[in-house]
Amino acid sequence: MYCLQWLLPVLLIPKPLNPALWFSHSMFMGFYLLSFLLERKPCTICALVFLAALFLICYSCWGNCFLYHCTDSPLPELAHDPGVVGT
């Protein structure tokens, strides 16, 4: 399970509030994961644990899934809030 120490922090990187940066963020994360999988070749158990965690985060629609944006997520309204931008 040594290889999970490089995969689990990827799930903690927050999604940007600006909707214009979502595509760039998802492309960066996708290329990072692809290059990690090709270079490090993690064991099957680590890959399955990571994919299960990624599936659960994206399925729950907490707003941190980098693959797509959930329709129920409140991020677009918060992106235009001056109180959020000013902090």
Chain segment 44-80, per-residue pLDDT in tens: 888 888 888 888 887 877 666 766 666 655 555 555 5
Q: Report the C-alpha gap between 48 and 60 in whole angstroms.
A: 18
Q: Burial, 83: exposed, middle or buried (Cβ in 10 Å; 0-12, 13-18, 19+)?
A: exposed
State the amino acid at position 19 in one-letter form: P
Specify whether the CB–CB gap between 66 and 29 falls below 8 A: yes
Q: Where are the domains of the chain?
A: 32-61
Instruction: State mean pLDDT over 12-39.
Output: 84
* 32-70 CB burial, b ≥16 within 10 A, e <16: eeeebeeeeebeeebeebbeeebeebeeeeebebbeebe
